[in-house]
Amino acid sequence: MDFGLMFKLFLVSLLGKILIAEGLACNWGTRATHPLPPDIVAKLMKDNGIKKVKLFEVVPEVMKALGNTGIEVMVGIPNELLAPLASSVRVAEDWVSQNVSTYISKNGVDVRYVAIGNEPFLKTYKDMFSQTIYPALENIQAALIKAGLGRQVKVTIPINADVYQSESGMPSGGNFRPDIHDLMISIVKFLNDNGGPLTINIYPFLSLYADPHFPVDYAFFDGASAPVVDGAITYTNVFEANYDTLIWALEKNGFPNMPIIVGEVGWPTDGDINANKEYARRFNQGLINRINKGIGTPKRPSPPDIYLFALIDEDAKSVQPGNFERHWGIFYYDGSIKYPLDLGNNRNLTAAKGVRYLSRKWCVMRPDADLSDSNLPQSINNACTYADCTSLGYGSSCGGLDVRNNASYAFNMFYQTTNQQKGSCDQFYNLSVITAIDPTPVRDSSCRFEIMIDTGRHEQARTPTTSLAGRMYYYNSVLTLEFLLGLILASFC
């Protein structure tokens, strides 16, 4: 026995595990009313050993903050840009020049992938992007080659797991949906020919959310109470079964070695009865353990790159398909830690540093206000129309509050969202008052009465998406002109 060779193999294996443990990847979304300054987020990622990040759109301040950090970047192209990019190679060349080449050459951003569109084949889109996704893919690839980036930057398309299915219900029955089968094969072939991976988003939480009879343990990596037997393979979790369904689909269509990235996978902490910190910690710790140990799936023992969804909560994100959409972060909106996670190599989560907040003031229901006041329901509704009240829903972290605390939570979220603007706590028919005493219920520490980040006090704070009005667009309601003017004026104060 060659002990020298065995020792070398051991060292290679050990080094590989160390590199994997230090190579975490995440999604960084920026749809927040009070976003963390990008330089603080970049430092947050470095402090937690996150080496790769996926962005959903190009935000100049975010890209600049990632420059010379050593963090590998996947930049996203929103679906609404697919049509113009598909219409002309010149449009694609301009996009690549402005959003990729410039940041690589001038800011030292390590761009590795361009993600074209985001889940463009969702059935809810009703084929809205089916005609533009492939020509946009071709044009961006051509533009990258012309810019001299064809080898450094690869194209990909993030797709939802609903692009494939199995009539047998087993992974081995996997194939692409009939309505998009030929298009998917064309996309896979194009990516394969150009060295680009296929990016897939897998959400075990949504399986549990959509089906009340779904076996809970099967959603997690440590559960074994509801195994699925597929020939010689036994699946104990939905992630592996889902991923291998895609592998079977690729194999059946002639792409057994197609590289794959898991672009999104995670678990939310609020907004649904199954979205809580206990379940999120259980799932994400199991996921990180797999990454650190280099565990793949039965059909693909070699692990893919996995981008955890998500880094930080986004309080201005759309709430479709549910209120949990604003609570996927492993960190709260301000970069504080939600729950402990062992990152491997004796490393635990590290909170964001240098975060500054608005004054320690809250807007709450007046102690002498009458709970039977006819204006109270409308006041709560108005507050939650313009602020994030998703934590108040059934089964959520603040879902058990009494009427008075429920109103106080709504009033305070409105007050904080408007930057504690003078007069913003006076919008509720004399039912509210400002207090310097933290109203967070002691009996339930999971329900947080927030104080927002003071973005104006950070020198490197990024300009909100287009404008304050642009940020508020992401709420599912239309702002009144009076309220909008108030917000704009407040942004200059």
Per residue of the chain (493 residues), give pLDDT as tens: 454 444 444 433 444 443 334 469 999 999 999 999 999 999 999 999 999 999 999 999 999 999 999 999 999 999 999 999 999 999 999 999 999 999 999 999 999 999 999 999 999 999 999 999 999 999 999 999 999 999 999 999 999 999 999 999 999 999 999 999 999 999 999 999 999 999 999 999 999 999 989 999 999 999 878 899 999 999 999 999 999 999 999 999 999 999 999 999 999 999 999 999 999 999 999 999 999 999 999 999 999 999 999 999 999 999 998 999 999 999 999 999 999 999 998 899 999 999 999 999 999 999 999 999 999 999 999 999 999 999 999 999 999 999 999 999 999 999 999 999 999 999 999 999 999 999 998 766 789 999 999 988 654 433 333 333 333 333 333 333 333 333 333 333 3
CA dist 142 and 146 (Å) reads 6
Look up residue 452 and give its two tokens.
């927002």
Identity at 412, one-letter amino acid code: N
For the question of residue 450 being annotated catalytic, the response is: no
CA dist 440 and 442 (Å) reads 6
Which entry of 72, 93, 240, 264 is annotated as an active-site residue?
264
For the question of residue 459 being annotated catalytic, the response is: no
* CATH class of the domain at 9-55+157-348: alpha beta
Which entry of 57, 72, 119, 138 is annotated as an active-site residue?
119
Cα distances (Å, whole numbers) of residue 378 to 381, 388, 420, 429, 485: 5, 16, 21, 10, 22
Listed in order, strand segments (DSSP E) in 117-265 are 154-156, 158-160, 164-166, 174-176, 198-201, 228-230, 233-235, 260-265
**394 contact partners, CB below 8 Å, separation of at least 6:** 273
Q: Could you tell me the strand order of the sheet in which 50-55 lies? A: 154-156, 110-116, 72-77, 50-55, 24-28, 305-308, 260-265, 198-201, 158-160
Task: Give CATH 3.20.20.80 domain extents, the chain.
Answer: 9-55+157-348
- 199, 309 contact by CB (below 8 A): no
CA dist 206 and 274 (Å) reads 10
